[in-house]
Amino acid sequence: MYGSLTIVGIQDIGPAGPREGEPAAYYWPVYIHMVRLIIPLALVALLFRRPNRVRGAWWVMPLALIPLVTGLWIADAGDAIGLFDFVGLLIETVTLPFFALAFLWLMADKLGNLPRLRTLTLAVGTLVLAGIIGLLGVSAFGFDSMLTVKAFIYAVFVVVFLVAMSLAAFVSRKRYTPLRFLLWFFLILVVGTAVTGTALSMLLMLMAGILMGGGFSLLYLAPMLVSQMTVSALAGFVLFLFVLPFLALALWLPTYRARFHAIFRLPSMDYEQERGGAVSENSPVEQ
């Protein structure tokens, strides 16, 4: 939908006035739709970087575009049941982590063989840049209160994800295997999401109670804690399912496994052997 739009409010108010109000004209520019292409175009641009012109690097593309492609069908279903706005917000919120992980994976070659603090700083900076690009893409340069909500949810995801990755690597430092790392990441992510989500929910409810003058009843504290903890843990499990395909690439696909090992350099990783093997397995594709 683009071009000049005319909006007319219609309400039958009887003898109190006309049935139709004054028409309001709005011009919907076509480039608004093009803005949503920022996300796939940014990933395509990263694929043209020399380190990514290797076999297997493109696997992040279908993963990153899952929310955008499936969102078209889900949005129609949401419109049919009167939940179009909610479903749209959900799709856009989910799109951000998918895009950010693909962005980070394609830039991961810049994070290897560096001091830990510098690696973490660059990872945060990369995810912040991905978040800015993603927010511009999903919002089509529209700035409203929902943009703040999306940015806040994305920020929470970044913190929980980086903490889970760091702690999973720490506890796997003496005996690393891909499945061991994955198990620890799952446990830390679910528990971390449960604790973070519960703390934020209780804080918001406490602030709402204070602002509305109703206070906060301790009688309902325990049931609310259990309820919020359960919902947040379930959200952590769903988040793990979202992240799992990207972790599978990092743990088992040679292209991303070499980058993963170069970043963490755990003592039990065959880092030197992996780096040597990556040269032959991930050589640039001949044109």
Q: What is the pLDDT of residue 285?
A: 43
Q: Which long-range contacts (CB under 8 A, 24 or more apart) does 153-157 make?
A: 153/93, 153/96, 154/93, 154/96, 154/97, 154/100, 155/131, 156/196, 156/200, 157/96, 157/97, 157/100, 157/239
Q: Who has greater pLDDT, 14 or 59?
A: 59
Name every residue whose Cβ is closer than 8 Å to that of residue 28 and which is 6 or more positions away in sequence: 1, 2, 3, 4, 5
287 has a pLDDT exceeding 50: no
- CB atoms under 10 Å from CB of 251, counted, come to 17
Specify whether the CB–CB gap between 125 and 207 falls below 8 A.
Answer: no
pTM given for the model:
0.78
pLDDT by residue (tens digit) across 111-166?
988 999 999 999 999 999 999 999 988 877 667 778 888 899 999 999 999 999 99
Average pLDDT over residues 1-8: 62
Q: What is the pLDDT of residue 186?
A: 96
